[in-house]
Structure 1
Amino acid sequence: MRRPFFQWLMTQRNPVTSDEVENFANAAFYDTQFPKQSDDFDLISRYLEENATYLYNMSIFDQAWSEYKASEE
């Protein structure tokens, strides 16, 4: 079983950055409703589209998801 996306995303946090994935990770850290135990693309994507005002472009999630998948190979 692979680790949840949120757990991987937290490894990308960096408080002094301009990288979009790192900014996404920094903001997601404060999102108490984020589906933290999920590794399901559709569930997380739907959640972000409907609730994550801090994610201004879903292509950032797509990039993060690609990096997540590559890290699990």
Structure 2
Amino acid sequence: MNKSFYQFALAYRGGSKRDPYARFAEAMFNDHGFPKTSREFDGLSRYLEEKADADMPAAVFDELWRAYEER
């Protein structure tokens, strides 16, 4: 079974508060509207652009997305 991006990124929760991936994962987890089942870049990117949360910046999303695709 392929994991959704949300399931993939949750692996970064619990890290250092200085780790941008850990901050992203924690903010994503606490965002009850986050598209948890999505596996599509465009929809997730659009959601994050509209949300504009400082703890879920587009640059960090892009890096996590690359890691998600490579897994």
Per the TM superposition, whether the score is higher than 0.5 is yes
Query: Distance in 2 between the 1:51 and 1:17 partners?
Result: 21
Q: Cα RMSD over matched residues?
A: 1.6
1:54 aligns with 2:43: no
Runs of 4+ in 1 over 4 A off after TM superposition: none
Identity of aligned residues (%): 38
Q: Aligned letter for 2:49?
A: E
Checking the alignment, whether the CA contact within 8 Å between 1:35 and 1:44 is kept in structure 2 is yes
Gaps of 5+ in 2: none
Gaps of 5+ in 1: none
Query: Distance in 2 between the 1:45 and 1:11 partners?
Result: 19
Q: Aligned letter for 2:37?
A: Q
**Offset, 1:65:** 0.5
Q: Which residue of 2 aligns with 1:27?
A: 27
Q: Deviations over 1:3-40 (max 9, x none)?
A: 10000111111153311111100111100000000000
Query: Distance in 2 between the 1:37 and 1:56 partners?
Result: 17
1:7 aligns with 2:13: no
Query: Distance in 2 between the 1:30 and 1:57 partners?
Result: 15
Query: Distance in 1 between the 2:2 and 2:19 partners?
Result: 25
